[in-house]
């Protein structure tokens, strides 16, 4: 019985690749140094999988930045502005595409399906001259082979590559990306031939777009592509790998629609790669349950046709549990990171072949049983409260326009009120004092003093600039989810559970393992303190339940919505505590609401329903005069605008930096938005300082579409990553622009 791994994290157990990349980019180490770190990581991964007994071990799942960018390099599809003159693509051109350089900005980056991984979007037009310009797939195959490991080279499939691309500037409306299929297949053929020559016996094409709702012409291009490749592929075993959802059975009858079983052989029916080990979470597999699934499948496809696999690349989970020295033993026994999942896959394959490792299986069963019965997981009161939510809509009693009137009487704000999104620059000293307080090197008194000073500085600055609704700047927070997770019950934190987000950037999601509750108030102390420093309204600043959920590793023993409702109840208590303590404007950030949207349309309504409901639960109990804000980190919500309205917030601030048009078109098309709205007037992701005229110009464009009395003026996200030297002039210009326009209205 065979075992297979779809793909593996690149960063290394201690983020070795991250540090090597950043040092290379900073000019502190050479290309050879970087290549050495990368080669060592690849070698250790291949050896580890070999040692675990995996039969089909992937190669070319390593990347210096991103696998889509690697494919762009393979095809020589470098946009002209990077000045590439042919030949094998090196670090120079590669990293310029990824990160930009002194004269040219980077290529666009976007989310990889519904994960938190971001890929570099290929830009393709009718006159791209494709050429075989990166031999990485073949080189890595040979590298593994030289180490004695015969791998399955992995390529992004040609159809998914095109479907995930975007048309180059100027041809957006007229150009069909799929028309390039005939031009890229010859390069795929060259790569395949070289791999064959080098000795490969298998090849894996990742075609994840197959799980999406596809129009028939898109579906047909799969047939077209693989028929065209058929003769080149002959002699190879071909695996088409799909992940992130099951394949729509109604569309693609030839493929099984069994949940979690998404891979199939090119010669259909030959092999079934069953992704029974979840590649996206951090939980130990239920080995007994997986084994019985596999046995059932074996009955359908036959013993020699079944391969045990992961549900997707392990790229989306943490690397290795071995390095978790701080997690307590019980919780640790419930978990499996990438390295442990490899072992699970192999154990299942062996068990299926009649060589069950009884000890391993019973340890797994014991861990699962302890998770099920642990009092740390279940909190009866929370379960009851969450169950009682059903059947109610949790809507504020008064409608939004009446609420806004009541709020205005109390707040007395000018038209085009100004505000910011929450965080102010996080200086080195600030990070240091937080770190030392955590390590108990700084006393609580000294810590409070330092944070208080910071808040007071931020408050004074905002008053000086004459901003209308203030924030405290979030100096006490390292991360908008971790900060709350650390104070809620039911959360655990890993020391090294990093997951690649983009390039060298990694995130370390909290682990929600149990029922969530709030032992005591989380933000009232700081918000009340900040409010006491000013007579202007000070926004209470919370992270919303959906965002906390979507940016965590979520328990898999109850539906996501139940966990979300529990978090919502905890945040609701916090909202009401803030209100009781004199905070009249409360912002509940839902930065990640949209990214939880399921890939398939048929599942989206249900998600939006409970996600929006969860948000309403948090604030349905406040008085009319309490103003609820929310913030979102994207502007492409044209498709979910009705859900956003249904959140029933009083004011929404939205990222809008790169696309006024997209956002405003929703309202131009007649969507009625009665609540306050603050589309960001400048891009905080860039060090550029916008002039007052430029900002006024943008506000004017918005005023042409939105009613004057609902428009707010604010940057498009938190200022945490910027320097004070950038923030000060930018905010000053922002307020100047608002003031100028007020005199003209």
Question: CB-based burial of residue 223 (10 Å sphere; 0-12 exposed, 13-18 middle, 19+ buried)?
Answer: exposed
Q: What's the min distance (Å) between Cβ of 570 and ligand GLN?
A: 18
- Which of the stretches 209-217, 523-531, 537-545, 631-639 binds Zn ion when contact is defined by CB under 5 A? 631-639
- Which of the stretches 12-20, 95-103, 180-188, 419-427 binds ligand GLN when contact is defined by CB under 6 A? 419-427
Q: With binding defined as CB under 6 A, does residue 654 bind ligand GLN?
A: no
Q: Is 394 annotated as a binding residue?
A: no
Q: Which does 480 bind (CB under 5 to 8 A by kind): ligand GLN, Zn ion, none?
A: ligand GLN
Q: Is 103 annotated as a binding residue?
A: no
Residue by residue, what is the 3-state secondary structure of 105-171? Answer: CCCCEEECCCCCCEEECCEECCCCCCCCCCCHHHHHHHHHHHCCCCCEEEEECHHHHHHCCEECCCC
* Token duo for residue 211: 């799980």
Of 313 and 635, CB closest to Zn ion: 635
Of 278 and 589, CB closest to ligand GLN: 589
| Alpha carbon distances (Å) from 418 to 41, 256, 588, 653 | 49, 54, 18, 11
Neighbouring residues of 716: CB distance < 8 A, sequence distance ≥ 6: 421, 653, 654, 655, 656, 657, 679, 680, 681, 682, 683, 684
- Which position among 261, 528, 633, 663 is part of the footprint of Zn ion (CB under 5 A)? 633
Q: Which does 279 bind (CB under 5 to 8 A by kind): Zn ion, ligand GLN, none?
A: none
Q: Is 84 annotated as a binding residue?
A: no
Q: Which residue has the tokens 């994290």?
A: 9
Distance CA(357)–CA(412), nearest Å, equals 71
- Which position among 240, 421, 528, 617 is part of the footprint of ligand GLN (CB under 6 A)? 421
Catalytic status, residue 4:
no
Q: What are phi and psi of 237, to 5 degrees?
A: -85, 130
Q: What's the min distance (Å) between Cβ of 422 and Zn ion?
A: 8
Q: With binding defined as CB under 6 A, does residue 717 bind ligand GLN?
A: yes
- Which of the stretches 306-314, 596-604, 673-681, 717-725 binds ligand GLN when contact is defined by CB under 6 A? 717-725
Task: From 335, 371, 277, select the one nearest 553 (Cα to Cα).
Answer: 335
Q: With binding defined as CB under 6 A, does residue 594 bind ligand GLN?
A: no
- Which position among 675, 718, 722, 730 is part of the footprint of ligand GLN (CB under 6 A)? 718
- Which position among 313, 423, 494, 630 is part of the footprint of ligand GLN (CB under 6 A)? 423
Q: What's the min distance (Å) between Cβ of 541 and ligand GLN?
A: 6
Q: Is 609 annotated as a binding residue?
A: no
Distance CA(693)–CA(48), nearest Å, equals 59
Q: Which does 2 bind (CB under 5 to 8 A by kind): Zn ion, ligand GLN, none?
A: none
Q: What's the min distance (Å) between Cβ of 547 and Zn ion?
A: 10
DSSP track, 496-508: S--EEEETTEEE-
Q: Which does 695 bind (CB under 5 to 8 A by kind): ligand GLN, Zn ion, none?
A: none
| Alpha carbon distances (Å) from 345 to 43, 208, 320, 332, 370 | 20, 21, 15, 19, 22
- Which of the stretches 143-151, 436-444, 587-595, 675-683 binds Zn ion when contact is defined by CB under 5 A? 587-595
Q: Is 564 annotated as a binding residue?
A: no
R_g over Cα of the chain: 27
Name the 3-class secondary structure at 686.
coil
Of all helices (H) and strands (E), which one includes residue 422?
A: none
Question: CB-based burial of residue 388 (10 Å sphere; 0-12 exposed, 13-18 middle, 19+ buried)?
Answer: exposed
Q: With binding defined as CB under 5 A, does residue 717 bind Zn ion?
A: yes
Q: Is 633 annotated as a binding residue?
A: yes
The residue of the chain with the least Cβ separation from ligand GLN equals 718
Q: With binding defined as CB under 6 A, does residue 321 bind ligand GLN?
A: no
Q: Give helix 31-52 / helix 136-146 axis angle, nearest 10°.
A: 60
Question: Is 130 within 8 Å of 183 (Cβ atoms)?
Answer: yes
Name beta bridge partners: 154. Answer: 204
Task: Give the number of other Cβ atoms within 10 Å of residue 465's Cβ.
Answer: 16
Q: With binding defined as CB under 6 A, does residue 591 bind ligand GLN?
A: yes
Of 514 and 544, CB closest to ligand GLN: 544
Name the 3-class secondary structure at 540.
strand
| Alpha carbon distances (Å) from 389 to 83, 483, 621 | 59, 26, 13
- Which position among 187, 633, 696, 727 is part of the footprint of ligand GLN (CB under 6 A)? 633
Q: With binding defined as CB under 6 A, does residue 168 bind ligand GLN?
A: no
* Token duo for residue 2: 């065979």
Site map (CB under 5 A) of Zn ion, residues 432-451, x = contact: --------------------
Site map (CB under 6 A) of ligand GLN, residues 370-409, x = contact: ----------------------------------------
What is the Cα 576 distance to its own chain's centre?
Answer: 30
Q: Which does 482 bind (CB under 5 to 8 A by kind): Zn ion, ligand GLN, none?
A: none
* Token duo for residue 363: 């340890």
- Which of the stretches 6-14, 454-462, 541-549, 584-592 binds Zn ion when contact is defined by CB under 5 A? 584-592
Neighbouring residues of 309: CB distance < 8 A, sequence distance ≥ 6: 3, 4, 5, 6, 56, 263, 273, 274, 275, 276, 277, 345
Of 151 and 423, CB closest to ligand GLN: 423
- Which position among 78, 480, 628, 731 is part of the footprint of ligand GLN (CB under 6 A)? 480
Of 42 and 477, CB closest to ligand GLN: 477
Q: Is 380 annotated as a binding residue?
A: no
**Residues that contact ligand GLN, how many (by CB under 6 A):** 13
Q: With binding defined as CB under 6 A, does residue 282 bind ligand GLN?
A: no
Q: With binding defined as CB under 6 A, does residue 541 bind ligand GLN?
A: yes
Strand 202-206 vs strand 237-241: parallel, antiparallel, or unpaired? parallel
Of 178 and 421, CB closest to ligand GLN: 421
Select which of 4, 613, 629, 685 is catalytic.
Answer: 685
User: Active-site residues: which are they?
Assistant: 685
Binding site, residues? 18, 116, 421-423, 474, 505-506, 551, 589, 631, 633, 642, 655, 717
Binding interface with Zn ion (CB under 5 A): 591, 633, 717
Contacts with ligand GLN by CB under 6 A lie at: 421-423, 474, 480, 541, 589, 591, 631, 633, 717-718, 720
């Amino acid at each position: 019985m065979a075992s297979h791994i779809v793909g593996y994290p690149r960063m290394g157990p201690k983020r070795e690749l991250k540090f090597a990349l950043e040092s290379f980019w900073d000019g502190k180490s050479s290309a050879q140094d970087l290549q050495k770190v990368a080669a060592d990581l690849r070698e250790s991964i291949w050896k580890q999988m070999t040692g675990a007994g995996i039969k089909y071990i992937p190669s070319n799942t390593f990347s210096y930045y991103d696998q889509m960018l690697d494919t762009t390099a393979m095809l020589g599809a470098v946009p002209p502005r990077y000045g590439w003159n042919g030949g094998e693509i090196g670090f120079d051109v590669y990293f310029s595409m990824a990160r930009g350089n002194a004269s040219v900005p980077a290529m666009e980056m976007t989310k990889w399906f519904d994960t938190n991984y971001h890929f570099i979007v290929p830009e393709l037009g009718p006159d791209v001259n494709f050429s075989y310009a990166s031999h990485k797939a073949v080189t890595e195959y040979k590298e593994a082979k030289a180490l004695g490991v015969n791998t399955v080279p992995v390529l992004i499939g040609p159809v998914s590559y095109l479907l995930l691309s975007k048309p180059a500037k100027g041809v957006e409306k007229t150009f069909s990306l799929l028309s390039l299929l005939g031009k890229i297949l010859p390069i795929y053929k060259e790569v395949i031939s070289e791999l064959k020559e080098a000795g490969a016996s298998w090849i894996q094409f990742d075609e994840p777009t197959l799980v999406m709702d596809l129009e028939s012409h898109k579906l047909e291009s799969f047939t077209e592509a693989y028929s065209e490749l058929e003769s080149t592929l002959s002699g190879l075993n071909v695996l088409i790998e799909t992940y992130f959802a099951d394949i729509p059975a109604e569309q693609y009858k030839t493929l099984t629609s069994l949940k979690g079983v998404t891979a199939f052989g090119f010669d259909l029916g030959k092999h079934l790669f069953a992704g029974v080990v979840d590649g996206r979470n951090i939980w130990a597999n239920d080995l007994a349950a997986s084994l019985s699934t596999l046995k059932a499948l074996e009955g359908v496809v036959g013993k020699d046709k079944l391969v045990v696999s992961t549900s997707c690349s392990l790229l989306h989970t943490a690397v290795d549990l071995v390095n978790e020295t701080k997690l307590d033993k019980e919780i640790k026994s419930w978990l499996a990171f990438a390295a442990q999942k490899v072992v699970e896959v192999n154990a299942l394959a062996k068990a299926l072949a009649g060589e069950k490792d009884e000890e391993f299986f019973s340890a797994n069963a014991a861990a699962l049983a302890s998770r099920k019965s642990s009092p740390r997981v279940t909190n009866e009161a929370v379960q009851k409260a969450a169950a009682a939510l059903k059947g109610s809509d949790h809507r504020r009693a008064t409608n939004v326009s009446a609420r806004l009137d009541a709020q205005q009487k109390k707040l007395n704000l000018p038209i085009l009120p100004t505000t910011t999104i929450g965080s102010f620059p996080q200086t080195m000293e600030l990070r240091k004092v937080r770190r030392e307080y955590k390590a108990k090197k700084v006393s609580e008194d000294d810590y409070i003093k330092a944070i208080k000073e910071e808040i007071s500085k931020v408050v004074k600055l905002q008053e000086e600039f004459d901003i209308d609704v203030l924030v405290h700047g979030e100096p006490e927070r390292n991360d908008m989810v971790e900060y709350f997770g650390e104070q809620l019950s039911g959360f655990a934190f890993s020391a090294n559970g990093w997951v690649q987000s983009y390039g060298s950037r990694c995130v370390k999601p909290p682990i929600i393992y149990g029922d969530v509750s709030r032992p005591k108030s989380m933000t009232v102390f700081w918000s009340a303190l900040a409010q006491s420093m000013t007579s202007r309204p000070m926004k209470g600043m919370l992270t919303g339940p959906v965002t906390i959920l979507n940016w965590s590793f979520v328990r898999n023993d109850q539906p996501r919505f139940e966990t979300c409702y529990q978090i919502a109840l905890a945040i609701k208590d916090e909202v009401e505590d803030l209100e009781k303590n004199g905070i009249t404007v409360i912002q509940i950030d839902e930065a990640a609401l949209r990214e939880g949207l399921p890939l398939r349309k048929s599942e989206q309504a249900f998600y939006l329903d409970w996600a929006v409901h969860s948000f309403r639960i948090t604030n349905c109990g406040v008085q009319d005069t309490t103003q609820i804000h929310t913030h979102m980190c994207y502007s492409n919500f044209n498709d979910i605008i009705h859900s956003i309205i249904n959140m029933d917030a009083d004011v929404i601030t939205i990222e809008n930096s790169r696309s006024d048009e997209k956002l405003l078109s929703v309202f131009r098309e007649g969507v009625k938005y009665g609540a306050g709205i603050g589309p960001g007037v400048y891009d905080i992701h860039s060090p550029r300082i916008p002039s007052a005229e430029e900002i006024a110009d943008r506000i004017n464009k918005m005023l042409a579409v939105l009613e004057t009395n609902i428009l707010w003026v604010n940057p498009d996200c938190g200022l945490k990553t910027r320097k004070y030297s950038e923030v000060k002039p930018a905010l000053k210009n922002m307020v100047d622009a608002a003031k100028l326009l007020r005199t003209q209205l």
